[in-house]
Amino acid sequence: MKLGIDTGGTFTDFLLLTDQGIATHKVSSTPDDPGRAILAGLRHFFPAPDLPPGFCLPDNLEIIHGTTVGTNALLQRKGARTLLVTTRGFEDVLAIGRQNRASLYDLQQERPAEIIGRADCVGVKERLRWDGSVQTPLAPSAGKRLRRLCRQQGIEAVAVCLLHSYANSAHERMLADELRRLAIPVSISSEVLPEFREYERLTTTLINAYLAPLISSYIKRLTAKLGDIPLYIQQSGGGVLPGETVGERAVHTVLSGPAGGVHGAFQLAAEMGREKIITFDMGGTSTDVSLCDGQPTLTRDYRLDSYPLRIQVMDIHTVGAGGGSIARLDAGGLLHVGPQSAGADPGPVCYGTGEELTVTDANLFLGRLLADRFLGGAMPLLSERVKRKMTELGRRLGLSARDTALGIIRLVNIGMAKAIRAVSLERGHDPKEFTLFSFGGASGLHCCELAAELGITEIVVPARAGILSAQGMVMADPALDASQSLFLRGRQLDGSLLAERFARLVADKKKEILQLCRSGRLSIARFVDIRYQGQSFELTVPYDDHCTDTFHAMHRQQFGYALPDAPLEVVAIRCTVSLVRPKQALPRAASHSDAEPEPDERREVMFAQGPQPLGIYSRRQLTSGHHLQGPALIVDDYTTILLPSRFHLSVDPLLNLLIKPN
């Protein structure tokens, strides 16, 4: 019995997978304490009013949770008071950063808020050379001085990032032994990220320390409510780990929820025989897109609020475009949508408490959302309130309310199409060759228009599109990632030398994961970072007998050229050690029909061409073999799908909707 829980900015999603099938639930998120929404969901599945928590959990239950606690804490700068310890003379690395700028000619560009102040960056007397040899030994009194400083300044966590510690971790470990006597979390870069590039290593280690107390506290509060029920946390790279170990790996939770969605879409695509997919996850707060060409795309060039994180994460491009994205006018009177979101509180205007119009309000005004059937009728929407607000905004724009609502939809679609191009066309992939997997509560209303914009010819709306991230979590396996900088070139690229280094790296992680999770079949993936000699950056390719050929082909795809005769160098090795567990099969339709179903009712929906009558269909009534010609509106408990007149759909045996243009 597995329960996937995905905490989003607007809703918290639940999917319970048992031998009897799948049960789902959705509640409003509680941003002040995400655990309250989780407990509400547990009461729904396992009610026990006579017990203090209000639920009674079965012994054979396992919970897999995707959390945004760490991400939100960093964005809001609500992490722990953290001390950054580095080599003396390098205390300003965090402030200096890199010379590249995202908006080079923006004269009004503002730096993101500091994670920690300059007073919390201290240096210690020591120095290692690039090869790990000691130039200046660590001062014997350094640890004692740092402990005293932590007590004086009320430090709650420490990040240690010394120069060239990836080549020799001795000095960092000595400081860690001293600082851990304070009983506060200590993150050292030689454990968090033993790789070269000092700035990226420093920011990754600092963020891990900054979030560790908060994540640990959240998990402890949650596990106290769960008792002995196993709790796993979704990692940003797609694997899961026991909750009690996540505090020391806090930085690995920054894409916890979105990673579950990509994993869920990829698993479903594999079962359907699709290898090339683009995932389109539109929720209440943001839209996450990712490309999978035979496997999920991973990256180490991820940035969170402009700070680089060099850990391995799902390559997910996020834009501030969701159902709750706010429509506003700028100083010049132009209409913008997002990135600000109304979230769960106060929410869109149609929820009854929000005062600013959102994408959800625009869809409701246009008739694409049904006020009396939202969330299965459990949450009626206030249409008249939206109508007044939309008319008022239209008057300020000099437009009708209808054109204003259509403009909001058009703007959010442009932003999402740009995001999909960023993960496809800008990286050498033609989106026309991929299937668009559309999931998340708001995606079904926009997927057809997006596909038409991008030339995509097939859309899949999964059977449980509104909660696919939670489904992906129950399908995920325990996994650990590891890396190590390793500079080899020319004759040093000998297979036996690399094999020896890989053997050490893999052995450490195998031992660690078997201590954490004892069940499952071991699976090991090996990768190398390769570049042409003289290049500043590298590409990660699978490690096998053809890895150099793979590198040349990947370089050609991404940059338009390859240099097969140029000397190469390896700068790092990587591995992922997983415990693959048996998967329960997804439920299939009990019946098959080639007929076109009858609509529940007919209503009028606004399009750019004008109002158009269409049929309203309950998704519960659609079964394998059913087919529909647009225009139509398919209403599910957690999502609504708009099928324009130029599209048609069919239902497959897994109850997914397959949508194609006529």
CA distance linking residue 141 with residue 175, whole number of Å: 10
Beta bridge partners of 282: 287
User: Do 205 and 136 share a domain, yes or no?
Assistant: yes
In-domain check, residue 3: no
User: Do 149 and 238 share a domain, yes or no?
Assistant: yes
Picking from 580, 611, 637, the residue at the C-terminal end of a domain is: 580
**Dihedral Cα 608, 614, 616, 622, nearest 10 deg:** -100
Give the residue from 395, 410, 399 showing the smallest Cα distance to 362. 410
In-domain check, residue 14: no
Confidence class of residue 652 from pLDDT cuts 50, 70 and 90?
A: very high
Describe the strand order of the beta sheet including 435-439 as a list of residue ranges: 317-319, 287-293, 276-282, 435-439, 459-461, 657-661, 647-651, 627-629
Q: What is the mean pLDDT of residues 628-638?
A: 90
pTM reported for the whole predicted model: 0.87
User: Do 373 and 429 share a domain, yes or no?
Assistant: no
Q: Is the pLDDT of residue 321 over 90?
A: no
In-domain check, residue 534: yes
User: Do 417 and 406 share a domain, yes or no?
Assistant: no
Q: Is the pLDDT of residue 495 over 80?
A: no
Largest Cα separation within the chain, whole Å, is: 81
Q: Please provide the average confidence, as pLDDT, over all residues in the chain.
A: 90
Confidence class of residue 388 from pLDDT cuts 50, 70 and 90?
A: very high
Q: Measured in Å, how far apart are the chain's first and last C-alpha atoms? A: 42
In-domain check, residue 92: yes
Picking from 425, 446, 474, the residue at the C-terminal end of a domain is: 474
Beta bridge partners of 416: none
User: Do 417 and 407 share a domain, yes or no?
Assistant: no
- Decide: 646 and 580 in contact? Cβ < 8 Å: no
User: Do 430 and 394 share a domain, yes or no?
Assistant: no
**What is the tens place of the pLDDT at every residue in 497-516?**
888 889 999 999 999 999 88
**What is the tens place of the pLDDT at every residue in 434-451?**
999 999 888 999 999 999
Q: What is the mean pLDDT of residues 8-36?
A: 88
Question: Structure tokens of 59?
Answer: 């012994």
In-domain check, residue 175: yes
- The neighbour count for residue 49, using CB atoms within 10 Å, is 8
Domain range for 605: 601-661
In-domain check, residue 586: no
User: Do 90 and 136 share a domain, yes or no?
Assistant: yes
User: Do 424 and 493 share a domain, yes or no?
Assistant: no
Q: Is the pLDDT of residue 9 over 80?
A: no
What are the DSSP calls for 135-166, one per residue?
EEPPPTTHHHHHHHHHHHHT--EEEEE-TTTT
pLDDT of res. 279 = 96
pLDDT of res. 492 = 65
CA distance linking residue 405 with residue 402, whole number of Å: 5
* Number of structural domains the chain divides into: 5
User: Do 404 and 418 share a domain, yes or no?
Assistant: no
**What is the tens place of the pLDDT at every residue in 453-487?**
999 999 999 999 989 999 999 999 999 999 999 88
User: Do 486 and 465 share a domain, yes or no?
Assistant: no
User: Do 469 and 503 share a domain, yes or no?
Assistant: no
User: Do 574 and 605 share a domain, yes or no?
Assistant: no
Picking from 437, 455, 474, the residue at the C-terminal end of a domain is: 474
Confidence class of residue 344 from pLDDT cuts 50, 70 and 90?
A: low
Q: What is the mean pLDDT of residues 263-289?
A: 91
In-domain check, residue 435: yes
pLDDT of res. 300 = 87
In-domain check, residue 293: yes
Q: Is the pLDDT of residue 112 over 90?
A: no
